[in-house]
Amino acid sequence: MIAIMKKLLLLSLLAGHLHAQSPAREPRDLNGYFPMTPPASKEAWQARRAEIEQRVALASGLWPIPEKTPLNAVVHGRVERDDYTIDRVFFESLPGHYVTGSLYLPKQRPAKMPAILCPHGHWPDGRFMDRGTGTAATKKEIETGAEELECGARSPLQARCV
């Protein structure tokens, strides 16, 4: 038994050495050429699609699919504006993990329509984070249209509003 273990140990050490001696390949980047063979049939694509979906779910931490739990959503305050209301809400995304946010709803709702849920994020002070929005430089940026794109926003909350 000891002889077998010694041979396996030697083999594993040599395998690592041989792998280290293999020629290095060019690093892959997004500018390289990546030939792609399109699927031959719809069935082949469906099989590939299922594999890709599973890989994405695994990389996102969603494989296996987590057990659904009740959200236990709570509205704990409301701010009235002229045309809309802002509800202060929180819900339980996972047991014991609460997500807080502001739910913006128009007052005049003819039927089902989208709403905006703005989570407060994980930065210090949450929604009360001060990014120097009262400065002259900020006012100039807004006047000149510097925030027409998400990348021009001063904070994550502004980026969502663009």
Residue bearing tokens 């060019």:
26
Q: What is the mean pLDDT of residues 12-22?
A: 60
Confidence of residue 147 (pLDDT cuts 50, 70, 90): low
Among 39-48, 64-73, 117-126, 136-145, which stretch is predicted with the lowest mean pLDDT? 136-145
Lookup: tokens for 2: 């000891």
| Confidence bin at 53 (pLDDT 50/70/90) | very high
Instruction: Please tell me the distance from the alpha carbon of residue 112 to that of residue 42, in angstroms, as a whole number.
Output: 36
Structure tokens belonging to residue 145? 């249209």
Tens digit of pLDDT for each residue in 74-118? 999 999 999 888 899 999 988 888 888 888 888 888 888 877 777
User: Can you spell out the DSSP letters for 89-144?
Assistant: EEEEEETTEEEEEEEEEES--SS----EEEE--SSTTGGG----TTSHHHHHHHHT
| Cα gap 69→44, rounded to integer Å | 35
* Separation CA 28–CA 19 (nearest Å): 19
Domain coordinates in residue numbering, the chain: 57-124, 130-162
